[in-house]
Amino acid sequence: MTDIPPPPMSPEPSYGAPAPQPPNNNLVWAILTTVLCCLPLGIVAIVKAAEVNSKWQAGDYAGAQASAEAAKKWSIWSAVAAAIVAVLYILFFVVLGAASSSY
């Protein structure tokens, strides 16, 4: 990974201002990989998304930012893993088909 920017929020609570949105917890990717690709990584991504929101709500903004980075990393990995598995699986059947059709 490249340099991680400092967390944008100071850990002190803001004064009466409405709480801004927590960092992106990538829950959409987590749900997509769980429902469509079905990988254990998708469930890890949901847990990471839960960490982002619970840390944010506890006022741990730096922790929420770190969990958001982790959630993003898990989402990318699960998407990459799904793509690799799909390619290997298609290759497996192509090879199997070629082997069974040869005389």
Residue 103: count other Cβ atoms within 10 Å of its Cβ.
2
Q: How far is the CB of 25 from another protein (least distance, A)?
A: 8
Closer residue to another protein, CB minimum distance, 80 or 86 = 86
Q: How far is the CB of 92 from another protein (least distance, A)?
A: 9
Rg (CA), the chain: 20
Closer residue to another protein, CB minimum distance, 11 or 96 = 96
Read off the DSSP letter of residue 34.
I
Closer residue to another protein, CB minimum distance, 21 or 103 = 21
The binding site for another protein (CB under 8 A) comprises 2, 4-5, 21-22, 25, 27-28, 31-32, 34-39, 43, 46-47, 49-58, 85-86, 89-90, 93
Closer residue to another protein, CB minimum distance, 11 or 90 = 90
DSSP string, 55-102: HHHTT-HHHHHHHHHHHHHHHHHHHHHHHHHHHHHHHHHHHHHHHHH-
Quote the tokens at residue 38.
């079905």
